[in-house]
Each structure stands twice: as structure tokens, then as C-alpha cells.
Structure 1
């Protein structure tokens, strides 16, 4: 979905927000009554919904490569998600969207998940970073394999601090939620570049598994729905979210409190971004795409 007003004569700002592994039916504007997405719903109401669109790929790396290059994944040689030790990556020989914006005088920034390269930590000898593709500023991208997804509160995974993020001053083991931090970085980027056109790519790790929402939001969604019986022998959504006794205490995919909480945090960020654009008078000259 996208939102824009009548663009002024000056070049518009572009913000592209990507949620990782999110189904379209999880949003309120598409009929979901469990998850709360008021800011995204407002974006959809005021803008354009892409209801007859097709993704270039159903998995991570190929889609990201296609988005940045405007080419089919086969054209750039990325047909599956890249493993941590992959020698493949998005070659700098391919012209990308941020390079074009940069060369046109835009400030270019990327926040969050990259997943278009292998990592030195895992033995890859060729590493491609966002800054190799026209992003002048980058924060929060992974520097080693993220394993089974990453949406941690705090930055802890299976009792171990998360050290795969290029994220300065992260509060390891303290009360800082990753999605909130990425949202904050986006707002700060807008503030820093308010006087010139900018292209911002906000790439969330959420709500990809493992499911791990902010505790206070998880508690809110737990109160909204009682778990029911499941015919599944094993539910990985429940397992990732840490629910005991599956399948007896099953949470279906469309009313999982951790998933709802994670999406809630993404939606909060959309609200903060729209608020910041409005306060700076940039909302009339910004194209916001989710």
C-alpha cells in the first residue's frame, strides 16, 4: 500500500517499509479483526492499495534483490534465500534504486535486514553490504547469520546476547525492543535529512519467526482471544512463541498474540513516521510505501 498527496514541484521523498514474512491478511484493512494496525489502516484508507499485485519471489533474498534492482531474481542470480556462508550476493555490477537516488542528489539510508550476502563470520569470502549499493548510511543490518529470525526483546536469543547486528549502543539484555529501535532510527533519519530529498528503506526483521513480541503487547493480545483445540501434531507458531502443551493450547496463525504484538510494534513505527513527516511539513511531499 502507498500514500501520497499532491506532490509539490520539488522532488518527493521516498520511504519504503518492508515487513519480513508478513501475510497480507494480517492487516486490519484487509479484514483482520484480531491484530491492531490503525496506522497502516489509515495509510490504506488515504492512499492506494495494491490489491492486484504480484511479488517477484515468495522468499527473502530473491525478493529483496528484485526490489532493489527492478529485475527478476533470475536476472541477478539469486533464486533462493542466501545461506550465511553463501559466496553469492547482490553483485555491485547491478544498478540499484538507491544508487539512482544517490546520483540524483538524494540522501539514501537503509535500516534493518539486508540478507543479500554471505557473512565473513561464516566463512564467506565475498561480502556485499548496503553501502556497496548506493546507501550512504546504514544501521541495524546483520553482520552474521540471523538464524531463525530476529525480533528479540531484549536483544537476547536462547539466553545469549545478540551480537549479529550492526547497531551501535544497543542495550544488550536491557529493555530495548529491536523493532522500536529501528523505528526510532527511521524518525531520526528523517529529522537529519529534512532539508533535502531522501530515500529511506526501513527493512524490519519482524514478524518473521521466531515469534517474540514485547511482553506488554503480548499480554494485551492474550486477553483478546482464548486458545482453542488444534488438529495439528505440532504447531511451529506455538512452539516459536513459547506456548506450552501444543496442540491443546493452540494459537491459530490468525490470532497469535506474539504475532499480533510484533505487528503492533511495526504499526506503531508507521504512526511515528507519519507524525514526524507531518510535524516537519513533509507529508505533502513524501511517498510512503509499505
Structure 2
């Protein structure tokens, strides 16, 4: 007796079998996203970005696999505004989130520093508005499991990660630095249970991320690992501190200092506890990346590595140096806003590729959507441009990028705005009597030679861009301080 085959059913069965096999290997139809954000990490704090003292083999290996961005910028020289820019795709000036949440408002400056400054800082919102459709909310709406671990600092209760699109929140609340026993349990963190004695916070956040990945199943995920490291107060496992203490001695390194205006600036990287913190962070990154490989997820997971502002070099212990960049955290100079950034897109980015094209943290939103094959939301990520062309080996015309920091920073900086277009960067300070600063970053990465006086046309061109942008975004400005000596004649 002859058997007649229904080839349509046979083909369908083969397709189902093949899909089932794919699931067993841990792949998914949409790529997973692992977004790693480090707090206060300087541009040269990673080996592949120039450090010869700190050891970062895991981030270095990621850099060699993916695309290295040598001109990547945070949208602000302090943390909360940059963090909001990543999740909203908007400049802090547009969302009025221009300072770290908890910084002085115009009416509270006396609680933080002298009231004798010539300007009062601009008012700002101490929350990321719930009306914003965050990156997490968009991925969640498109079938992703969403996870957050670590530092949030984007608003108090009611504005936590779980209120902004994350299914799971491990450790994210209003605090901008670790409380309790700092980098060791007990954490005194309402969103993270204490661990066993001597547990390290950085390692714990990696373990929480690993646990989420292991339980994700076949559903695509967005895992946002936001370290509290390397923010002060400084602290790390003692064995790593001992390692860098010995290394500093072996290399005969001494602390070196310089001056920037009235501020002391660290000129070299040699602080043992900071080196230990950087390596501890790198070890945690390595653990998570190893899990992706063990779960056969590494070839279907996009990995992003970034910092939220420049390294701390001009105050608060001066733990690192950002040379050859000028200044650091809190400043509009390159040391305050240029960040070490890597993107690994399996099957797309060529190993070891590098770009000098400048990009900014608002660009992550449209980039990740496009990488995942999801619809763009131009009305939301209005200030972002997709980096996909760069990742595919093509050119990208980024246009101008802007910064607006109408505040006095804890690190010694003054209120101002800046803009970069091509190789040129203009800084406008708001205090009366302070001159414009114009730099050609291609020829003067360290911003040592102010060209404003010899290039008045370029100053006016960039100043018009800056003025127009501030008007378009509704940027809030500082006001004159009626109590200052300049106003009272004291």
C-alpha cells in the first residue's frame, strides 16, 4: 500500500522542529540587551582607553570584540541628568533635569555652600517625569522582560525603576551613592536585601543580574546593570586594595598634583583603593559576560558599556586623573563629559573596530530600538540620533551636540553651556566678566589653547547655535544673586 505524504505538513513540522531547536540553544527572535552603566568612571580609567595602572581585562576584551567609541559624551557632567537622558532620549535642558537630584535649588544654596556666589542656580526637576515614555517602557511594551540593578538616582518614591518600566528592581532608589556600610553589607537599601557578612555591593549587583538572566527563559530581555561604583565613598575588597598598594610601590609611583584655577587636580592614576574599585567593577562585568556565554546567549545579546560623567579629579579626594583631558566630573571641559564607551552587536560590529565620531547619551534610545528592530519614537527620543550606521561601518552625520549646566558644581565648576560641532567646541560661562572659550579638539584635546579671540566668526556661529538650542528646549537659566558681594557692593 502506498503512503501519500502531505508535504505542507512535513515542511511545517520541520520548521517547528528547527524553531524548537533554536529555543533549546537559548536564542530568541529579538536580541537581548545588556546595558552596563558605571558611575563616575573617567575616560582613561579603562586599560583599552589608556590606563596603565588600573586593570580591566574583561572590559578590555569586550572592547576588542565590539566598537570602541573614543568621542562618546555624557549629556551632563554630573550623574542624574545623564541617566535621565539615556532613558528619555532627551537633553536634560529639555526635561529640566540639569543637576544631580538633591543638589541646591535657588532657595536652598545656603545649605550647600556660601550664598555669596554671583549667580543663583537655575531651578530644576528632582525627578524623571512619569509622562516620559522611557526606554524600559518601550521595550516592555514590545515583549521584553526588563530588569534594573544598582544606582537609580532619578527621583524619590513613586519615581523608582518599577514606576518607569522595569519589571524587577534590585537596589535602585533615590540615593546617589551607597548608604549603610557603603560597598559592603549591610547596605541600608530599601530595594536590596542585605547579604552575608563581607558581601561586596558591586559583586552582589552582578549576581542579581546573573540570576535574572538565568531565569529569563526564551523571552527577550533588557538588563540594565547600573553600578554604584566608582562613586565615593571609596571602598573595595581588601585583597584588591593590597594588590594596588603593592603595585604602586613596585612601580615607584607618587601622587602628582597640578592646578586648574583655584582647584587642585590629580595628574596621575595611582590611588590603590580606586584601582581596586575599578578592578572590582571589571570582575563583576566579567561574571555577567561569562554567564551570557555559558547560557549560549552571547551571540544574541547586544552589550553596551558607558559611564555617566567624567572621572572625579578636581575635588572630593581627587581619586583619578583624566589626562590628557582637562578637569573632570562637574565640569564642561572634556574631562567632565567624555566617556569610555563600547557597543558589541553580535554579527554586526567588526572585532576591534574604533570610531572617533562623536555621539552623546541621548543617542542610545533610537539606536537600541533600531538594533532590536522596533519602531522608532522620534517624538520621545527627540534629541537622539541612531548610531546604527556607525555600527554597520558607515558614516554618521551627528550634527551639533549640546550641554547645559546652569549650576555651581561640587567639584568647583561654574554655571555655563557648551556646544560641539565638528572639531570645534564653545563654552559659554554665565558669570559676568568670564570670557568665552573656544577650542579645536582635533588639535587641542586638552583644551589648553583658547582660540576665541582669534576666531570671532566661529564664536558667533556656535553661540547662535547654542542660543537657538536653549530657546528651542526651554532651557532654564541661572539668575543674579541679590545677596552676592557683586550686587551689594560689599
TM-score range, shorter chain: 0.7 to 0.9
1:34 paired with 2:53, answer yes
Q: Assess if the C-alpha contact under 8 Å between 1:151 and 1:206 holds in 2.
A: no
CA deviations on 1:46-88 (whole Å, 9 max, x unpaired) are 1001112222111111000000011111111200000189973
1:13 paired with 2:32, answer yes
What is aligned with 1:142? 173
What is aligned with 2:145? 107
What is aligned with 2:254? 228
Structure with higher RCO (Cα < 8 A, 6+ apart): 1
Counterpart among 176, 191, 211 of residue 166 in structure 1: 191
TM-score normalised to the size of structure 2? Answer: 0.48
> For 1:1-290, what aligned pairs fall within 5 Å after superposition?
10-83=29-102, 88-118=126-156, 127-142=158-173, 145-146=175-176, 152-155=182-185, 162-171=187-196, 174-226=197-249, 228=254, 230=256, 254-290=269-305
Structure-2 separation of matches of 1:205 and 1:54: 19
Q: Assess if the C-alpha contact under 8 Å between 1:113 and 1:140 holds in 2.
A: yes
Shift of residue 150 of structure 1? 8.3
What is aligned with 1:238? none
Greater radius of gyration (CA): 2
Q: Assess if the C-alpha contact under 8 Å between 1:83 and 1:118 holds in 2.
A: no
Structure-1 separation of matches of 2:58 and 2:102: 34
Shift of residue 170 of structure 1? 3.0
Shift of residue 271 of structure 1? 1.0
Structure-2 separation of matches of 1:85 and 1:165: 25
Q: Assess if the C-alpha contact under 8 Å between 1:150 and 1:209 holds in 2.
A: no
Structure 1 231/95 Cα, relative in aligned 2: closer, same or farther at 3 Å?
A: closer
Shift of residue 146 of structure 1? 4.9
Q: Aligned with 2:225: secondary structure?
A: strand
Structure 1 254/282 Cα, relative in aligned 2: closer, same or farther at 3 Å?
A: same
Structure-2 separation of matches of 1:152 and 1:197: 33
Q: Assess if the C-alpha contact under 8 Å between 2:28 and 2:220 holds in 1.
A: no
Structure-2 separation of matches of 1:146 and 1:9: 35
Shift of residue 256 of structure 1? 1.1
TM-score normalised to the size of structure 1? Answer: 0.80
Structure-2 separation of matches of 1:50 and 1:232: 28
Gaps of 5+ in 2: 1-26, 106-124, 306-490
CA deviations on 1:3-39 (whole Å, 9 max, x unpaired) are xxxxx88210001101100002011001211111001
CA deviations on 1:121-160 (whole Å, 9 max, x unpaired) are xxxxxx41111111011011235x45687883423xxxxx
Shift of residue 94 of structure 1? 0.5
Q: Assess if the C-alpha contact under 8 Å between 1:69 and 1:94 holds in 2.
A: yes
Q: Assess if the C-alpha contact under 8 Å between 1:98 and 1:133 holds in 2.
A: yes
Q: Assess if the C-alpha contact under 8 Å between 1:82 and 1:117 holds in 2.
A: yes
Structure 1 136/184 Cα, relative in aligned 2: closer, same or farther at 3 Å?
A: same
Task: Report how many aligned residue pairs link the two structures.
Answer: 252
RMSD: 2.6
Q: Assess if the C-alpha contact under 8 Å between 1:146 and 1:164 holds in 2.
A: no
Gaps of 5+ in 1: 1-7, 120-126, 156-160, 234-246
More strand by share: 2
Which sits farther off after the overlay, 83-92 or 181-190?
Answer: 83-92
